Amino acid sequence: MLELRQVHKSFDGVAAIRGVDLEVQARETLALIGESGCGKSTLLRMWVGLVEPDGGDVIFDGEPLDRGNLQALRLRMGYVIQEGGLFPHLSARDNTALMARQLGWPADRIAARVEVLRELTRLPAAALGRYPGELSGGQRQRVSLMRALMLDPDVLLLDEPLGALDPITRSELQRELREIVGQLGKTAVLVTHDLFEADFLGDRVALMREGEIVQQGTLDQLIDKPSEPFVARFIEAQQRPTRRETGATR
């Protein structure tokens, strides 16, 4: 469904992506993990067509993205970013329906689709009339997901969608997001810093460092057979020691 073939990208002469080959199968969820600045979000923006590679091919459903087909293919992708990226002057309902209105959907079709998505994401009905500034962080992310799903895309591209939430809300939305992606049978790519979120939501993880994929597979495979010392260090850094293990005191 999604593929990168020897993709390169530099910004101001600095290499951000270095010859990446990567493939995501239909109905699979791939989690991209790695340190800040390693290129995870750049890869996602290439798939959605917001960043053009300097070399290599970005493939969507067997078709290379180019300026001729980008607009049509983008309608088959849902894109969610950290903190939602909602338009502050539009209500939750209008944010959700924005693309459908631009495409000329009739009002009754829009209303029916919004209600389906509201129930799917468990957004309170009263929240539809509120503006983003009047919503909680979890509600904003639910609206952002509704907007991404409005056109029933084939693919969901999720860039740190839960990163700014408190732990309880984040845990709730992790469970709901996994249920929704599974229920709808979507292909998904998730960018996250959190190794265990990647394992919970992803069928497979791909660990990046300095613009390259250093290892991909299940979390167990990365733990049991790290391809290089960096993989082991990255995993170890996220296994938070307890106070008793460190000998720390209050």
In a domain, 8, yes or no: yes
| Same-domain pairing of 193 and 72 | yes
Quote the strand ranges of 67-152, DSSP E.
Answer: 77-81
The candidate with the shortest Cα–Cα distance to 120, out of 64, 55, 173, is 173
Length of the chain: 250
- The pLDDT of residue 184: 93
User: The domain that contains 206 carries what CATH number?
Assistant: 3.40.50.300
Residues of the chain with pLDDT under 50: 242-246, 248-250
Residue 195 has a pLDDT of 87
Placement of tokens 């969608």 in the chain: 161
Q: What is the pTM of this model?
A: 0.90
**pLDDT for the residue 196:** 84
Task: Quote the pLDDT of residue 84.
Answer: 74
For residue 205, the model assigns a pLDDT of: 95
Nearest Cα residue to 54 out of 90, 110, 4? 4
* Within a domain: 115: yes
Tokens, residue 176: 């709901």
- Map tokens 């979507």 to a residue: 186
Structural domain containing residue 98 = 84-152
List the beta strands (DSSP E) in 141-196: 155-159, 187-191
Q: How many domains does the chain have?
A: 2
Domain co-membership, 46 together with 95: no
